[in-house]
């Protein structure tokens, strides 16, 4: 079984700053996917970014990028030029290749962007 | 991607009763999942519901408490049976597509 650990329950930064959210995971699998999901107060789960474990290149989506260190089993999310709308819970998640076992989530990080 | 709707969006129920949550997807999908998010907590997988087979439940979840139906490739239901206040949670369905998972808007259940 895999585990996902997010060690930062809450983070607060000023608007326009850069913030990094940490995530580590444990698995015996070699092929898998990692995700960051955003959950605003509306509770809708929004996919922020996806990383395929067999790809060495770090995924990037506009202001969001990841630092994927496979050997260290680390998967951090960097948000550049943070905006007020980035305020939300952020969950790191693991999925085996194929996805038949669903997602395993970390406990989440509550990110607050201050004006 | 996939567009997923859930009904009801929220409900308040008496203990001892049951509630059935519906999940509708705008395309045919093989893998559907049900998650529970207890207040202030992360998401936990309840079960996997693939069309044409019995639902597979995670440790700590049983069919008698959370019966699931999957009659076709676009629809599933989750029933929360004999509810207690501990069942107060957000219940979310999701679908697996192209190595991603998409979520419905969730059903907020309060049991009094």
Asked if B31 and A103 come within 8 Å (Cβ–Cβ), the reply is no
Q: Please tell me if residue A101 touches chain B, with a CB cutoff of 8 Å.
A: yes
What distance in Å separates residue A96's CA from the closest CA in chain B?
9
Whole-number Cα distances in Å, A98 to A62, A103, B98 = 27, 11, 9
Q: What is the mean pLDDT of residues A36-54?
A: 94
Among A25, A39, A32, A27, CA closest to A91: A39
pLDDT digits (tens, 9 = 90+) for A87-98: 999 999 999 987
Asked if B31 and A99 come within 8 Å (Cβ–Cβ), the reply is yes
| Chain A contact set for B8 (CB, 8 A) | none
d(CA B44, CA B46): 6
| Chain A contact set for B101 (CB, 8 A) | 35, 47, 95, 99, 102-103
Asked if B42 and A91 come within 8 Å (Cβ–Cβ), the reply is yes
**Residue B21: how many other CB atoms lie within 10 Å:** 23
What distance in Å separates residue A15's CA from the closest CA in chain B?
25
Question: Any bridge partners for residue A17, and if so which?
Answer: none
pLDDT above 90 (res A100): no
> Do B104 and B2 contact (CB within 8 A), yes or no?
no
Give pLDDT, residue B62. 96
Nearest to B101 among A52, A97, A99 (CB): A99
Q: Please tell me if residue A103 touches chain B, with a CB cutoff of 8 Å.
A: yes
Interface probe for B, chosen from A45, A54, A55, A108 (most Cβ of B below 10 Å), is A45
Query: Which residues from B are below 8 Å from A when comparing CB atoms?
Result: 31, 33, 35, 37, 41-45, 48, 90, 92, 94, 96, 99-103, 105-106, 108
> Do B41 and A107 contact (CB within 8 A), yes or no?
yes
Give pLDDT, residue A103. 95
Give pLDDT, residue B51. 82
Q: Kindly give the confidence (pLDDT) of every residue in chain B, 112 residues in length, as a single tens digit, with 9 standing for 90 and above.
A: 889 999 999 999 999 999 999 999 999 998 899 999 999 999 999 999 988 888 999 999 999 999 999 999 999 999 999 999 999 999 999 998 878 899 999 999 999 9
Mean pLDDT score of chain A, rounded to an integer?
95
């Amino acid at each position: 079984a895999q585990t996902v650990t997010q060690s930062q329950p809450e983070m607060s930064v000023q608007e326009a700053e850069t913030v990094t959210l940490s995530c580590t995971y444990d698995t015996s699998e070699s092929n898998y996917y990692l995700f960051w999901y955003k959950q605003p107060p509306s509770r809708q789960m929004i996919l922020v970014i996806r990383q395929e474990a067999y790809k060495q290149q770090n995924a990037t989506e506009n202001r969001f990028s990841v630092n994927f260190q496979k050997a260290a089993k680390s998967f951090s999310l960097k948000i550049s030029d943070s905006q007020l709308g980035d305020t939300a819970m952020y969950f790191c998640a693991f999925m085996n290749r194929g996805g038949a076992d669903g997602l395993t989530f970390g406990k989440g990080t509550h990110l607050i962007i201050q004006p | 991607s996939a567009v997923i709707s859930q009904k009801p969006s929220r409900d308040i129920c008496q203990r001892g009763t049951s509630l059935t949550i519906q999940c509708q997807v705008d395309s045919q999908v093989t893998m559907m999942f049900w998650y529970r998010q207890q207040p202030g907590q992360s998401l936990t997988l309840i079960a996997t519901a693939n069309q044409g087979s019995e639902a597979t439940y995670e440790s700590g979840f049983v069919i008698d408490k959370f019966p699931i139906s999957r009659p076709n490739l676009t629809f599933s239901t989750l029933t929360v049976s004999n509810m207690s206040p501990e069942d107060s949670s957000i219940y979310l369905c999701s679908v697996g597509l192209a190595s991603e998972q998409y979520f419905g808007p969730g059903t907020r259940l309060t049991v009094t």
